[in-house]
Chain A
């Protein structure tokens, strides 16, 4: 698209809704310049405070929140779905469909001239499902991304639906590109991994989308070498030359379980890039937790992670569900100073919604769930506000096994309800330890605390959690 310079005064327009707004978080729509279709694929901050965004239509835009100013930095890119700011204020790395590109404004006139093919190494046929999702950078300067499988119905060799053609290299893999441009494939097993994230501790994670071999939206830990679930990527895995002969049982025994399952529908339908709250409290009480957006529904979900037996697992919670958020929350980033969350949106093809939203903590913390973690005989449930007295029947607990299947659409197998055999509430009312009968591994637990009243009597903002119980504590 043509490059043109546009300046827009700040419009902090509040889109108010008819029903009661969320008391804890305020959502503001930030309109893009007239005529610009802002389908956000990647976001990051320049040192000078500009928010850089790449769009699926191939543009890079900057937004300066203090001035409310929009400027077009570049165009002509190939559906970029990841962006990381480079050094100084003139350099951007964007992940295009077929390459990682370093985009530079060499003469510092505000518009980029140089588009260097910085890293590549994977195959791409033009199939619309062959997205290259990204983009994050670790402390060594390596870039991480993940490659979606092409959509070829009734493909070979892993029936019945999703399949990349076996000869398109590295589809379905999570990869890194080192600081000197070398492509390194890391983990097979992705299906439509939108997208990668790095925790504050430096662990690499990737979400994946429900479909064949992926029972629901998931957050996977990209443990070095681990097979993450979808078998197509195994076609390029030198460790598994006979992968085409593997049956479902073998694949199920090989796959690393997700750190978090995001149940289909309850937690949206197409999860997006994970982003950790590193605001140290400016964004509310969930500092250190991970946020995950959704394409189809106006939802953002939250997760807390812990290690059991050396492996990540944890709980997922609804975080924000509001009509005014709109659909398409694809990428998120926190303002380095204010702690506000900027949400870049696009849903085209799978829903509706595009543009930029800003979410700010109002300073209020309603009653709700802070964290659910696993104990030897049940769960330790932490509330955001002191709870009034609790009994065993204040908690409703159920579980099921998410079906691992090649079919599109996975069943909830072996559904159970679980009795709470004992409850202990801490003196300050914030922590309830519940003993749960029938606790077992390799199951997803649904924990409903909406019957718990807060001491102050306020309404509960979020009272449901889904705990991915891969392993029991010994």
Chain B
């Protein structure tokens, strides 16, 4: 209630000061930096002519063959050779269409989550990433990537509807296309023949102030249309690093960006100061004269942007940022995490349906079962994707839940290694591994000695979750695994339950209160083993 009244008060204040604000905007519009084109253009590149067409060779050497642009070295590779990375100019998706890419060459290999991981020294003599990715510049994340199939020439299309999802999440996000060839120990090559995307180029950023040096990274912020929020509530940087920060404003009202010293109350206090001192703070782009202000943009008018250069503080911590345009500060804020190591970005990776990507199995509205070889769970694993993102694999040879993993965006496995071309490789678990059973794990002891279990099959319930059946000695065991709480419940039924039956807890497992790994818990006809997957 209190908050609501406060908001009302603010609105009244804003309305009263509108005429002044309008003048302020007019003044600051003149000093605002870059403007961008709002037309629906398509960016396209053709690489058949041996030119890089404005793409930056970030690492490695560029070559041209087979009608496309690729790594110069592909015939003999070893661990010492640098990953080849060619990067398109920066652009923003404009919703005018989709993305189309034509690649040639051999089968691709999975790319990691970020560009910086691709450039890190792999030190391996085999394998390595190979593919084309859509990279989000601000956190270096590979939001979308195309693992080429074995087909020699492959054109991959991402529909407009899929790009619209990205745009909806962040209207002014800045991307590049990264062509990555870090394959070692093999003959593979990946010429990029052409690429086109419904996008608008980002104008060249203004030069940093004299003496600043070269920024290591470029951060981009936008605002959410119709809502007083930045499109990103979190940014990341390393202590002492030099970055550019550009605030795009494609909204209907002006905004600013202020980076502050750590503190819970700082953003609020700055915002409230502005409201209490409108006449004064108008003159300074609504930035209060407060020593806790580290850096700030100008007041950015709608349809414009401003770029500033920041030397990130040396002290790790959480540095709030906020827009202090009157009334915006409560919602329009975020945190810059200054950490020694950049965290793996929270990537909501887009999974558009396309050839090659059909191999990535993702749960949507119903549990999914995929059967195949999975490391740690046997060559005939039964992998189950649940609706909670807690995934597991059942090994029918040992008759145990052999693996669990966590996948907030519902990914289960990448079947490409097993189902593309001749296959021959194991399914790839997608997500964060949580539990992996020991090779000789035999948690359920019914006192029958070392008799191996006999897998009998599984039955899918109305909710889509399977119950596994197996014979262990003289008993029939039924195990139904469903999401529960912070993980999964494996609900056991023994018929009959011999006296002295025990279940020995593995990592992440608990039965009732018992949660210590290695505990042999006495069990009866019905019992539940909980697997924590948080």
Give the most central of B358, B371, B373, B419: most A CB within 10 Å. Answer: B371
- What does the 1/0 interface line of B360-381 toward A look like (CB < 8 Å)? 0100111011111100000110
Q: Does B424 contact A (CB under 8 A)?
A: yes
Closest to A348 in B: B421
Instruction: Collect the chain B residues with CB atoms within 8 Å of residue A79's CB.
Output: 372, 423
Q: How far is the CA of A97 from the CA of B372 in the complex (A)?
A: 9
Which residue of chain A has the shortest Cβ distance to B370 in the bound complex?
A: A76
Q: Hey, which chain B residues are within 8 Å of A350, CB to CB?
A: 422
Known A76-B369, A76-B382, A98-B396; contact A1-B419, beta-carbon cutoff 8 A: no
Closest approach, in angstroms, between the C-beta of B482 and any C-beta of chain A?
16
Q: Tell me which residues across on chain B come within 8 A of A294, comparing CB atoms.
A: none
Closest to B366 in A: A2
**Interface contact A128-B423, CB-CB below 8 Å:** yes
Partner of B380, one of A1, A78, A112, A151: A78
Interface string of A98-123 (1 = CB under 8 A from B): 11011000100000111111101000
Q: Which of B23-31, B35-43, B237-245, B457-465 contacts A (4 or more CB under 8 A)?
A: B457-465
Give B403-460 interface residues, CB cut-off 8 Å to A. Answer: 415, 418-426, 455-460
A99 contacts B421, C-beta separation under 8 Å? no
**In the bound complex, what is the Cα–Cα distance between A75 and B415 (angstroms)?**
14
Residue of B nearest to A3 (CB): B366
Majority DSSP secondary structure for residues of A touching B: loop
Could you tell me the distance between the alpha carbons of A112 and B457 in the complex, rounded to whole angstroms? 13
Closest A residue to B427 using CB positions = A126
Once the chains are docked, how many angstroms separate the CA of A78 from the CA of B383? 11
Report the nearest B residue to A104, measured CB to CB: B459
With A117-B455, A117-B457 as given contacts, are A78 and B372 in contact (CB-CB < 8 Å)? yes
A56 at the A/B interface (Cβ < 8 Å)?
Answer: yes
Query: CB < 8 Å: which of B358, B380, B458 contacts A98?
Result: B380
Q: Taking each of A56, A77, A98, A106, which has the highest tally of chain B beta carbons within 10 Å of its own beta carbon?
A: A98
The answer to whether the Cβ of B276 comes within 8 Å of any Cβ in the partner chain is no
Contact between chains at A116 and B419 (CB < 8 Å)? no
**Are B422 and A349 in contact, with the CB atoms below 8 A?**
yes
A114 engages B459 (CB within 8 Å): yes
Q: Taking CB as reference atom, which chain A residue is nearest B383? A: A76
Of the candidates A35, A58, A112, A348, the one whose C-beta lies within 8 Å of that of B371 is A58
Q: Does A7 contact B (CB under 8 A)?
A: no
A-B contact count (CB 8 A): 83
A125-B379, A348-B421, A349-B423 known; A116 and B369 CB under 8 Å?
no
Chain B residues with CB under 8 A of A115: 457-460
Within 8 A of B (CB), among A114-152: 114-118, 120, 124-129, 151
C-alpha spacing A98/B459, complex, angstroms: 18
CB of A37 closer than 8 Å to a CB of B: yes
User: Considering only CB atoms and an 8 Å cut-off, how many residues of chain B contact the other chain?
Assistant: 33
B-contact bits for A61-86, CB 8 A (1 contact / 0 none): 00000000000000111110000000
Interface residues on A, range: 35 or more
Residue-wise, chain A 247-265 has the 8 Å CB interface mask toward B (1 for contact) of 0000000000000000000
Instruction: Give the shortest distance, in Å, between B378 (CB) and chain A (any CB).
Output: 8
Q: Is the CB of B361 within 8 A of A1?
A: yes
B320-369 CB contacts (< 8 Å) to partner A = 353, 358, 361, 364-366, 368-369
Instruction: Check B369 against A75 for contact (C-beta < 8 Å).
Output: yes
In contact, A124 and B366 (Cβ under 8 angstroms): no
Q: Contact flags (1/0) for B258-301 with A, using CB distance below 8 Å? A: 00000000000000000000000000000000000000000000
Q: Does A57 contact B (CB under 8 A)?
A: yes
A405 interface residue per 8 A CB criterion:
no
- On whether A99 and B424 interact (CB within 8 A), knowing A76-B368, A77-B371, A113-B460, the answer reads no
A209 at the interface (CB under 8 A from B): no
Q: How far is the CA of A78 from the CA of B373 in the complex (A)?
A: 9
* Extra contacts besides A76-B369, A97-B379 (7): CB < 8 Å: A57-B419, A78-B372, A98-B396, A113-B460, A117-B456, A129-B424, A348-B420
Name the 10 nearest CB pairs between A and B, nearest first.
A76-B369, A128-B424, A349-B422, A126-B373, A126-B379, A98-B380, A116-B457, A78-B371, A117-B457, A113-B460
Residues of A that sit less than 8 Å from B by CB: 1-3, 35, 37, 56-58, 75-79, 96-99, 101-102, 106, 112-118, 120, 124-129, 151, 348-350
